[in-house]
Amino acid sequence: MSPTTNETSAAAEAYISTLPPHHVQPLWTVMNAMVPPMPNPKAIPFLWNYKELRPLLLQSGEVVGAEEAERRVLMLVNPTCKAPQTTDTLYAGLQLILPNETAPAHRHTAFALRFIIEGSRGFTAVEGKKIYMSRGDVILTPSWTWHDHGHEGEGPMIWLDGLDLPMYQFIPGNFAQGYHDSRYPSTPVDESPSKFPWAPVQESLDAQKGDYAEVEYMHEDGGRLSRIIGGHAERINAGTTSPMRKETSSFVFHVYQGKGYTLVGEGEEQKKLQWEQSDTFAVPHWKRIQHVVEQGEDAYLFSFSDRPLMMNLGMWRKEEF
């Protein structure tokens, strides 16, 4: 006589209970969780309002010094994840430096980019090249390059940090190293492969015909910003929408100009993220994305994503609409 389903289940449970002392576990009980039938990010679509966070960031400047903090940053932590996750694979944070301050020189395994939100005469020095920052600039600090930040102007200098830090939480070789002085010796430069000013990016967007345009940040040799993170800019004309897209990449968007909203996901799970200038929002992997700008001025968005990582791993997929 064949065993009943209940007997088989009881036997399986009894068998599994004998395994822990041997430090083994049955794969078949967790197979769908480890290899799901479709991308299953832990992160959710979420928006951080700049008008709400700016006072908190400025308050941090009153209670902790730049050198004491090393980096005075408010991390943008996804509600369903933990630091340093803004999405499952991407980290974003708002960094503040005040006049005459120094954020000490260090280098680290992670790649970093900075999108400048406000202020002038702040600088990032990368491997001895002192790069002044203006609103809309993208500044890169490639992996294991010495860099420090300073501010020679007036008022606060604030930018959005973008790093691949979540990826390195699983790799013990991830670490940072401080320089023996607060500043790495540097000389001012007018141009640098680590700096992408906003003006030519917007010029390229505006030169494209139609209500929507997109530009990808690329090095002069045609390579993306890094092996893990790529950068993008978009223009959506007032009264129009962007094309719908869906890919196995996650994004962190920042609003350079304009007001609108972004529809993320589909069906009952669709989220509407209402945004305005200087807001930042996260879109997890494999979610439909469509930007909507109803009235007023044209909108310009900056974003960084893990598309290069997905491509390099052979995991990048997109859905056509």
The answer to whether residue 3 scores a pLDDT higher than 70 is no
The whole-chain average pLDDT of the chain stands at 95
Whole-number Å distance between alpha carbons of 36 and 11 = 27
Note the helical H segments in the chain.
5-17, 31-34, 50-63, 66-69, 165-168, 198-207, 307-312
Every domain of the chain and the residues it spans: 46-190, 198-320
Give the confidence band of 2 by pLDDT, cuts at 50, 70, 90: low
Q: Is 46-190 a CATH 2.60.120.10 domain? A: yes
Interval 225-241: pLDDT, tens: 999 999 999 999 999 99
Looking at residue 70, what is its pLDDT?
A: 87
Look at 5-9, 41-45, 90-94, 280-284 and tell me which has the smallest mean pLDDT.
5-9
Interval 24-33: pLDDT, tens: 999 999 998 8
- What value, to the nearest 5°, has the Cα angle with vertex 267 and ends 287 and 315? 20
The answer to whether residue 1 scores a pLDDT higher than 70 is no
Look at domain 198-320 and name its CATH class. mainly beta
Whole-number Å distance between alpha carbons of 218 and 223 = 6
The answer to whether residue 295 scores a pLDDT higher than 90 is no
- Cβ–Cβ under 8 Å, residues 261 and 299: no
Fold match between domain 46-190 and domain 198-320: yes
